[in-house]
Amino acid sequence: MGGCASGPPATYDLLAPPTMGALKPLSLSLVVSEPTAPRAFDTDRMIVREADGAISYVQGAQWSDRAPALLQTRLIRAIEKKGYSVAREGAGVIGDLQLTGEILSFNLVPGSPTQADISLVMRLIDTHEGKLIASRSFQNRVAVETLSGADIATGFDKAISELTPTIADWVLARRH
């Protein structure tokens, strides 16, 4: 899927613009963890996963950060867009609830058309009791026009922009 590239790879981001203005605190404080991922997805490389499971990388393009960090930021932004404040794990907040996740896919699926595929299992944990409150899987696939880094980033951005508000609604419905 890739060709030879000279110089450093083009770098793409999935950052949503920050929410401006005051955010309401939740009745219980929520901390968003960086999702866990198999080593193949815990990278800044753009991944292509074939039907047989073979993995390759898009040449000449990369993410601005590792996929788990990009997803953590987008999850935080999605909850903030709903008007609520949350904290990133490691920010010094001891949350009542913790949103954790596992990346099952964050890759291109070749075909006609090639698709950006994001699949996650999200878990909401009561940190005081160490109890799993809820878990759910989420998936979205979006067609990617070409295999250029810019089109790939646009496809993933669309996929995550459609997926994270659904996750935010799911979390906020379970916060009590």
pLDDT tens-place string over residues 92-111: 778 889 999 999 999 999 99
pLDDT at 120 over 60: yes
Question: Hey, what are 138's tokens?
Answer: 């989420």
pTM: 0.86
- Please tell me the distance from the alpha carbon of residue 93 to that of residue 163, in angstroms, as a whole number: 26
pLDDT at position 94:
80
Task: Kindly provide the b/e burial profile for residues 20-38, where b requires at least 16 CB atoms within 10 angstroms of the residue's own CB.
Answer: eeeeeebeebbbbbbbebe
Coil, strand or helix at 19: coil
| Contact status, residue 35 vs residue 99, Cβ threshold 8 Å | no
Confidence of residue 83 (pLDDT cuts 50, 70, 90): confident
Whole-angstrom distance, CA of residue 86 vs CA of residue 30: 5
What is the C-alpha to C-alpha distance for residues 123 and 136, in angstroms, rounded to an integer?
Answer: 7
First-to-final CA distance of the chain: 47
Looking at per-residue confidence, does 84 or 138 come out higher? 138
In whole angstroms, what is the distance from residue 41 CA to residue 38 CA?
Answer: 6
Answer for the pair 62, 43: CB distance below 8 angstroms, yes or no: no
For the ranges 19-23, 67-71, 80-84, 149-153, the lowest mean pLDDT is seen at 19-23
> Which pLDDT value is given to residue 1?
47
Domain map of the chain by residue range?
Answer: 30-172
- Averaged pLDDT of the chain: 89
CATH 2.40.70.10 fits 30-172, yes or no: no
List strand residue ranges (DSSP E) for the chain, in order.
Answer: 10-12, 24-25, 30-32, 45-49, 55-63, 84-85, 87-88, 97-109, 115-126, 131-143
Res. 2: pLDDT tops 70: no
pLDDT at 153 over 50: yes
